[in-house]
Amino acid sequence: MTKLKKGDVVRSEDGKREFIVDALIHTGTGQGDVYKVHSDKDIFALKLFHTGDMNILKRQMHRLQLRGRASAAFVHPLYVVNVDGNVGYVMEFLSPEEYISSSILFNGVERVLDNGDVIREELPLYQKLGLWKLIFEAIKILFDADISLGDVKYDNIKINKNTGGIKILDTDTAVGGKAKAMVRGTIGFMEPLVMRGEKAPNKYSDAYSLAVMLYMSLISGHPLRGRRYHEQCNQNIDVYTFATNPVYVYNKKDKSNRPAPHEKRTIARLKKYPEYFLEAMHRTFVDGLFEDETKRTTPGEWLEIIDRLYEDHFICKQCGEEHFFETAERNCHVCGTELELPIKLVCDGSDRSGVYLFNGTEVWTGDLIEKENSYQLFKVVVSDFDKKFSLLCTSTQPVTLELKNGFSKDFGRGDIIPIFLDSKLTISNKYNIKFIGGTK
Ligand SMILES: [Zn+2]
Distance in angstroms (rounded) separating the CA atoms of residues 290 and 246 = 10
- Are 87 and 104 within one domain? no
- The SS3 call for residue 59 is helix
| CB neighbour list of residue 313: distance below 8 Å, 6 or more residues apart | 125, 126, 322, 323, 324, 325
Instruction: Tell how far the Cα of 420 is from the centroid of ligand 1, in angstroms.
Output: 25
Other C-beta atoms lying within 10 Å of the C-beta of residue 393: 20
Report residue 188: phi and psi, to 5°.
Answer: 95, -30
- Are 233 and 137 within one domain? yes
Instruction: Tell how far the Cα of 321 is from the centroid of ligand 1, in angstroms.
Output: 5
- Residue 386 in any domain: the answer is yes
Instruction: Tell how far the Cα of 333 is from the centroid of ligand 1, in angstroms.
Output: 7
- Residue 334 in any domain: the answer is no
Instruction: Tell how far the Cα of 127 is from the centroid of ligand 1, in angstroms.
Output: 18
Which of 19-23, 125-129, 340-344 is predicted with the least confidence, judged by mean pLDDT?
340-344
Instruction: Tell how far the Cα of 339 is from the centroid of ligand 1, in angstroms.
Output: 8
Distance in angstroms (rounded) separating the CA atoms of residues 438 and 9 = 67
Instruction: Tell how far the Cα of 332 is from the centroid of ligand 1, in angstroms.
Output: 5
According to DSSP, residue 154 is labeled G
Instruction: Tell how far the Cα of 309 is from the centroid of ligand 1, in angstroms.
Output: 18
Statement: residue 315 has pLDDT above 70: yes
Biggest CA–CA distance in the chain, Å, is 87
Instruction: Tell how far the Cα of 166 is from the centroid of ligand 1, in angstroms.
Output: 31
Instruction: Tell how far the Cα of 434 is from the centroid of ligand 1, in angstroms.
Output: 28
Instruction: Tell how far the Cα of 216 is from the centroid of ligand 1, in angstroms.
Output: 21
Distance in angstroms (rounded) separating the CA atoms of residues 84 and 66 = 25
Mean pLDDT, residues 3-19: 93
Distance in angstroms (rounded) separating the CA atoms of residues 393 and 415 = 5
Instruction: Tell how far the Cα of 335 is from the centroid of ligand 1, in angstroms.
Output: 4
Query: 191 pLDDT band (50/70/90 cuts)?
Result: very high
- Are 159 and 282 within one domain? yes
- Residue 333 in any domain: the answer is no
Instruction: Tell how far the Cα of 125 is from the centroid of ligand 1, in angstroms.
Output: 14
Contacts of range 93-96, beta carbons closer than 8 Å, 24 or more positions apart: 93/36, 93/43, 93/44, 93/45, 94/45, 94/158, 94/167, 94/169, 95/43
Query: 330 pLDDT band (50/70/90 cuts)?
Result: confident
| Cα dihedral 250, 254, 260, 263 in deg (nearest 10) | 0
Give the count of domains, the chain.
Answer: 3
- Residue 43 in any domain: the answer is yes
User: Any alpha helices (H) in 287-406, and if so which ranges?
Assistant: 299-312, 365-368
- Residue 317 in any domain: the answer is no
- Are 368 and 400 within one domain? yes
**Per-residue pLDDT tens for 228-280?**
999 988 888 889 999 999 999 999 999 999 999 999 989 999 999 999 999 99
Percent of the chain with pLDDT over 70: 93
Structural domain boundaries enclosing 13? 9-92
- Are 83 and 115 within one domain? no
Instruction: Tell how far the Cα of 267 is from the centroid of ligand 1, in angstroms.
Output: 16
Query: 183 pLDDT band (50/70/90 cuts)?
Result: very low
- Please indicate whether residue 178 or residue 36 has the higher confidence score (pLDDT): 36
E strands, 297-423, are 313-315, 322-324, 340-347, 355-356, 362-364, 376-382, 389-393, 399-402, 408-411, 416-418
Distance in angstroms (rounded) separating the CA atoms of residues 246 and 187 = 13
Mean pLDDT, residues 135-162: 87
Output the pLDDT for position 171. Answer: 57
- Residue 130 in any domain: the answer is yes
Statement: residue 208 has pLDDT above 80: yes
Distance in angstroms (rounded) separating the CA atoms of residues 102 and 93 = 17
- Are 154 and 179 within one domain? yes
- Please indicate whether residue 65 or residue 379 has the higher confidence score (pLDDT): 379
- The SS3 call for residue 121 is strand
- Residue 4 in any domain: the answer is no
Distance in angstroms (rounded) separating the CA atoms of residues 392 and 378 = 5
**Per-residue pLDDT tens for 390-418?**
999 998 989 999 998 989 999 999 999 98
Instruction: Tell how far the Cα of 334 is from the centroid of ligand 1, in angstroms.
Output: 5
- Among 72, 92, 112, residue at a domain's last position: 92
Output the pLDDT for position 19. Answer: 97
- Are 26 and 68 within one domain? yes
- The SS3 call for residue 217 is helix
Distance in angstroms (rounded) separating the CA atoms of residues 348 and 13 = 69
Distance in angstroms (rounded) separating the CA atoms of residues 94 and 109 = 20
Statement: residue 54 has pLDDT above 80: no
Output the pLDDT for position 439. Answer: 54
Statement: residue 181 has pLDDT above 70: no
- Are 254 and 235 within one domain? yes
Instruction: Tell how far the Cα of 28 is from the centroid of ligand 1, in angstroms.
Output: 45
CATH of the domain at 305: 1.10.510.10
**Per-residue pLDDT tens for 426-437?**
998 889 999 887
Statement: residue 12 has pLDDT above 60: yes
Statement: residue 172 has pLDDT above 70: no
Instruction: Tell how far the Cα of 301 is from the centroid of ligand 1, in angstroms.
Output: 30
Is residue 57 packed enough to be buried (19+ CB in 10 Å), middle (13-18) or exposed (0-12)? buried
- Are 73 and 103 within one domain? no
- Residue 69 in any domain: the answer is yes
According to DSSP, residue 103 is labeled T
Its pTM surpasses 0.75: yes
Output the pLDDT for position 77. Answer: 87
Instruction: Tell how far the Cα of 113 is from the centroid of ligand 1, in angstroms.
Output: 21
CATH of the domain at 396: 2.60.200
**Per-residue pLDDT tens for 346-361?**
898 888 878 888 878 8
Is residue 268 packed enough to be buried (19+ CB in 10 Å), middle (13-18) or exposed (0-12)? middle
- Are 189 and 239 within one domain? yes
Angle at 149 between CA 75 and CA 61, to 5 degrees: 55
Instruction: Tell how far the Cα of 66 is from the centroid of ligand 1, in angstroms.
Output: 49
Output the pLDDT for position 56. Answer: 76
- Are 166 and 305 within one domain? yes
CATH of the domain at 41: 3.30.200.20
Q: Are the beta carbons of 171 and 75 closer than 8 angstroms?
A: yes
Mean pLDDT, residues 293-308: 96
Output the pLDDT for position 3. Answer: 87
Distance in angstroms (rounded) separating the CA atoms of residues 61 and 175 = 10
- Among 45, 68, 92, residue at a domain's last position: 92
Average pLDDT, the chain: 87
- Among 42, 67, 92, residue at a domain's last position: 92
Instruction: Tell how far the Cα of 124 is from the centroid of ligand 1, in angstroms.
Output: 13
Statement: residue 177 has pLDDT above 50: no
Statement: residue 153 has pLDDT above 70: yes
Q: Please give all residues whose CB falls under 5 A of ion ligand 1, grouped by chain where several chains appear.
A: 316, 318-319, 321, 332, 334-335, 337
Output the pLDDT for position 180. Answer: 41
Output the pLDDT for position 178. Answer: 40
Nearest to 249 by CA among 209, 210, 289: 289
Task: Give the Å distances, CA to CA, from 292 to 135, 178, 281, 288, 400.
Answer: 24, 17, 14, 5, 56
Instruction: Tell how far the Cα of 4 is from the centroid of ligand 1, in angstroms.
Output: 55
Instruction: Tell how far the Cα of 269 is from the centroid of ligand 1, in angstroms.
Output: 13
Instruction: Tell how far the Cα of 329 is from the centroid of ligand 1, in angstroms.
Output: 11
- Are 307 and 183 within one domain? yes
Give me the DSSP letters along 258-299.
PPPTT-HHHHHHHHHS-HHHHHHHHIIIIITSSS-GGGSPPH
